[in-house]
Amino acid sequence: MKVLLIENSRLYQLFLSDLFRRLGYQPVSVTSHKEALTALEKYSFRFVCMNLLLDGKDAIDFIPEVHRHNPGATVILLTSDRASGIRMQAVKAGATEVIYKSSMSNIIRRLRILLGGAPKDHVLTKNRRVLYVEDSPTQAAVISAILEQDMRLDIEHCGSAETAIRWLGDRKYDLVITDVVLQGEASGLWLLRRLRRLDNENAQLPVLTLTGHDDPARRLELLRAGTTDYVTKPVLKEELIIRVNNLISNKLLMDKVLEQQAQMQHLAMRDELTGCYNRRGFRELSEKYISQASRQKRPLSLALIDLDHFKQINDRYGHDAGDEVLRALGKLLRRKSRKSDVVARWGGEEFVLLLPDTDRDQGLCAVRKLGALVAAMDTGSNFSVTASIGITAISPPQKPDLDTMITCADKALYRAKDAGRNCVVYRDCPLPAGNLPVRKG
């Protein structure tokens, strides 16, 4: 069954597409009203999920158009705008529901309800690891049988909160199920509170608590302690399966969202053509090394590398050949630099190289080797290239400053160009010394 997703945010498009697939639907993703109309004319949709703002216009006006092509379709509107009246306007226009982009978990929960939840066994809980904390052998046997046989989960069982928190220190799980009342000095509530204070990824694990009391005070106590959900005893098999499946599947979806966010962050910091960092990525990473050099009183070098006569390459051989040269140079700089070095495309045919823990002489030696490698580089065509390099360095007690070092290296680069290109020019960086401790005596 197809779902039409009208969303211009790349992050939400990735997230929602993956969510729909996991729920057993085939998403058709578009980013504009024009693309949406084409999809509506081509396919029949049971669900249409759309962002409130698209093409700079209010998507509420587009809802009747959706119903004209797909009468009876469920229309779900996503928005970050909590202005009063939006929900009422959307419902009057024919929307079934308005979901606020307050959190990924809220979107997951609401869409699962609207789309009817996940088909049986669609969310792959098989072999997912669950830590089950229960001191009653009889109760443990009953619950473990349901989890292992009916849901095919990988269960690790222990009888005390102390053992559980020790395991959570160095083992990975997808869910914790714990009874409230446990033998020993520590209870399930103690486990919940300690779990949420862990300094590893398990601190965010979903927790299903089993309790024999269903009074409001106990429910509030469990929620304040950090439980994600709870089941009252005696435990109904069907309820347990539904709640466990929901908790694990939501975690898997959130893991996917975090993974996608990390991928998008990585892409946002990289230059697509060369694979090197872009300006944003360079500045973000460089700050760490600038701070480290200042704190540890270590030397630091920075170089600007500019290809000679690059415009002539583009004019004579074409931009494809020019792009291939830039790719080759980016690959060379990344391969020949140390892991601690930061290599970025600064703009056009210019690259910047930050060399932590590298003084003047070491920096000059390194970039001279790079200059020779550039001259011998395989460009993929029947011509060779050279590079001009400007470099600067600071040493203690100088306090490093990124912008000042870039300006200084840029002036050195201009001198290299004036000197005939294909050479390295060093320029001292006029940064002042930091505050030095006053010597006594």
- Cα→Cα distances 32→7, 37, 73, Å: 8, 9, 19
- Cα→Cα distances 280→6, 106, 285, 347, Å: 29, 31, 9, 12
Q: How far apart are CA 398 and CA 242, in angstroms?
A: 63
Q: How far apart are CA 212 and CA 231, in angstroms?
A: 9
Beta-carbon count within 10 A of 74 CB = 17
Beta-carbon count within 10 A of 78 CB = 24
Contact at 8 Å (CB) between 414 and 350?
no
Indicate whether 299 and 339 sit together in one domain.
yes
Contact at 8 Å (CB) between 127 and 138?
no
CATH number for the domain harbouring residue 199:
3.40.50.2300
Indicate whether 137 and 54 sit together in one domain.
no
pLDDT, residue 125, reads: 61
Indicate whether 415 and 304 sit together in one domain.
yes
205 in a structural domain: yes
Contact at 8 Å (CB) between 251 and 244?
no
pLDDT, residue 434, reads: 55
CATH number for the domain harbouring residue 380:
3.30.70.270
Q: How far apart are CA 406 and CA 397, in angstroms?
A: 19
Contact at 8 Å (CB) between 130 and 153?
yes
Question: Which residues of the chain register pLDDT less than 50?
Answer: 118-123, 435-441
Q: How far apart are CA 104 and CA 179, in angstroms?
A: 28
The domain of 227 spans 129-264
Q: How far apart are CA 328 and CA 344, in angstroms?
A: 14
Beta strands in 215-341 (DSSP E): 229-232, 300-307
Domain count along the chain: 3
399 in a structural domain: yes
- Cα→Cα distances 225→180, 194, 202, 367, Å: 11, 9, 15, 57
CA angle, corner 12, sides to 8 and 17, nearest 5?
Answer: 100
Instruction: For residue 309, give every residue at least 6 positions away whose Cβ sits within 8 Å of its Cβ, in sequence order, or none.
Output: 421
Active-site residue, selected from the candidate residues 162, 185, 349, 350? 349
6 in a structural domain: yes
Last residue of a domain, one of 114, 139, 170: 114
What's the pLDDT tens digit per position in 103-115? 677 787 788 778 7
CA nearest neighbour of 189 among 163, 211, 156 = 211
Q: How far apart are CA 337 and CA 334, in angstroms?
A: 5
DSSP letter string, 394-425: E-TTBPP-HHHHHHHHHHHHHHHHHTTSSSEE
Q: How far apart are CA 179 and CA 187, in angstroms?
A: 8
Indicate whether 70 and 176 sit together in one domain.
no
Q: How far apart are CA 146 and CA 155, in angstroms?
A: 11
Which residue type, as a one-letter code, is found at position 132?
Y
Indicate whether 238 and 340 sit together in one domain.
no
286 in a structural domain: yes
Q: Per the structure block, which two tokens stand in for 376?
A: 């011998």
Cβ burial of 345 (10 Å; 0-12, 13-18, 19+) is: buried
Last residue of a domain, one of 215, 235, 264: 264
Indicate whether 24 and 86 sit together in one domain.
yes
Contact at 8 Å (CB) between 159 and 190?
no
Indicate whether 216 and 332 sit together in one domain.
no
Contact at 8 Å (CB) between 329 and 378?
no
Contact at 8 Å (CB) between 161 and 192?
no
Indicate whether 337 and 374 sit together in one domain.
yes
The 8-class DSSP code of residue 82 comes to -
Q: How far apart are CA 353 and CA 370, in angstroms?
A: 11
Indicate whether 249 and 154 sit together in one domain.
yes
Last residue of a domain, one of 66, 85, 114: 114
pLDDT, residue 19, reads: 81
| 349 catalytic per annotation | yes
Indicate whether 226 and 335 sit together in one domain.
no
Indicate whether 154 and 236 sit together in one domain.
yes
Indicate whether 285 and 314 sit together in one domain.
yes
